[in-house]
Structure 1
Amino acid sequence: MGTSRRKPRQARSRETLDILLEAAAQVFSREGISATTNRIAERAGVSVGTLYQYFPDKHAMLRAVAGRHVRAAEDRLTEVFDRLRRDQPPFDDAMAEVLELVVELHRDRPRLHALLHRVATAAADLAELAAFEDRIVAEVAYHLKRCHRGGEDPELTARTIVHAVDAQVHRVLPRHGYGPDAAAQLKLIVDRFAPPPP
């Protein structure tokens, strides 16, 4: 996800790339897909020529911002998943922690995340995104099985939960806002597909 023209090898080049990606995230968050490379370069405090040394166009920048978001989310979720496997909390507690983190990862720039979701589901980017989703599905399925939830096919239940939560996070909540009860709303989805035992 995200192809840049120039691969930064020196610290200064990596810093310029980070500045460009953060500027792109800010401008796309405010202006959506109508953002221009000129506006992004201006926000980054560099010339548009410098921007073009790293990215051929704004779409490549948007894909790079999406890739950065996926990698950051995966790093944070991996920490939580590792701890949950170690601690083995009750299912509801495990899911509450995961859902709180999912909301935290998306609350700050909802408009940007909705745009990134549309971009990340483009055919060229499906492999990285699918691998990330498969990892989340595997972790949810693990806790469903561990806690005797999810019916006869915990993997299918886990995949249904992950995709339903994903739709809520990237399509519904950006339009209506990430209120203080956003994680609780997501937990209702989990409970619908994997209800607590009677």
Structure 2
Amino acid sequence: MSKSRVQPLKQPLQQRSRMTVQAILEAAIHVFDEFGYAAGTTSRIASRAGVSIGSLYQYYPNKDAILTALAEQHLAEGLALSVRLLETLRTTSQPLAPTLDEIVDHMLRLHEHNPGLHRLLYEEGLLPAALRQAARQAEQFLIAEVARCLSLRPDVAIADRQMQAYFVVHAIEHFTHRLVIDQPPPEFQKRGKNELVTMLLRYLQT
């Protein structure tokens, strides 16, 4: 897929145009979730967003560009949240158990916001190739920062910090995705969250 095919045609500068773009992106999430990516046409997206197809094409040349914009937004939101949670892990004086509980809870809330988008990007492998490298770089950054944070906490067992961080980052990412994408009953999700926190706590303190 060429880079120009997924680039926005126009940047929204005014408040009204920013609202239009956000309406298109939110509509696309619902359309892709309801009809699948193949049948999630730009016409359906424009109709759901309440805009003309011409207005949509002012900003996005096709649905690939819309998916890329959604993926960029998702990655940015996830990284911003992770940085805030890392600061909590580094600076809080509360014990490790409630700190991990808070981190896992926030990650679940992030994934719950758009479970359909998560299925598209990760389950169906539609994360745009141009963003895969950015996602890997963000992952490596988080692993390095988690390792640094763990080294500052006296309630974490001394071990290979990089290895600890690798497993912590991947465990939280994998299981919070699964607990949202699989759409289990609320009680199962609650128990699953507690199991994940317990698993991380035992791993880090043993």
TM category, shorter: 0.7 to 0.9
- Give the structure 1 partner of residue 164 of structure 2: 157
**Is the CA contact 1:4–1:60 (under 8 Å) kept in the aligned structure 2?**
yes
In the TM superposition, 1:69-84 aligns within 5 A as 69-84=74-89
Cα pair 2:164 2:204 within 8 Å, conserved: no
Tell me the distance in 1 between the aligned counterparts of 2:158 and 2:89.
21
Of the three residues 132, 154, 167, the one matched with 2:174 is: 167
Partner amino acid, structure 1, of 2:50:
G
What TM-score results when the alignment is normalised by the length of structure 1?
Answer: 0.82
* C-alpha spacing 1:50/1:88, structure 2 compared with 1 (3 Å): same
From 126, 137, 162, the counterpart of 1:131: 137
Aligned-residue CA RMSD (Å): 2.6
8 Å contact 1:137–1:158 — kept in the other structure?
yes
Mapped to 2, the partners of 1:114 and 1:88 lie a distance apart of: 36
Percent of aligned positions that are identical: 32
- The answer for unaligned runs of 5 or more in structure 1 is none
Give secondary structure in 1 for the equivalent of 2:87. Answer: helix
**Residue 141 (structure 1) aligned with residue 152 (structure 2):** no
In structure 2, the partner of 1:31 is: 35
- The separation in 1 between residues aligned to 2:137 and 2:157, in whole angstroms, is 22
Aligned partners of 2:53 and 2:143: how far apart in 1?
41
Given the two structures, how large is their TM-score scaled by the length of structure 2?
A: 0.79
Structure 2 Cα separation of the partners of residues 188 and 62 of structure 1: 36
Paired positions, count: 195
1:83–1:169 CA distance, 2 compared to 1 (3 A): closer
- C-alpha deviation, 1:183, in angstroms: 2.3
Please say if residues 77 and 101 of structure 1, whose CA atoms lie closer than 8 Å, have aligned partners that are also in contact: no
In the alignment, what sits opposite 1:68?
73
* Corresponding residue number in structure 1 for 2:205: 196
Against the structure 1 CA distance between its residues 58 and 73, is the aligned structure 2 distance closer, same or farther, given a 3 Å change threshold?
Answer: same
Separation in structure 2 between the aligned mates of residue 57 and residue 185 of structure 1, nearest angstrom: 42
Stretches of structure 2 that go unaligned for 5 or more consecutive residues are none
Partner SS for 2:35: helix
> Could you say if the C-alpha distance between residues 196 and 94 of structure 1 is closer, same or farther in structure 2, counting changes exceeding 3 Å?
same
Shift, 1:64, TM fit: 0.9
Q: Deviations over 1:2-22 (max 9, x none)?
A: 731211222222221111111
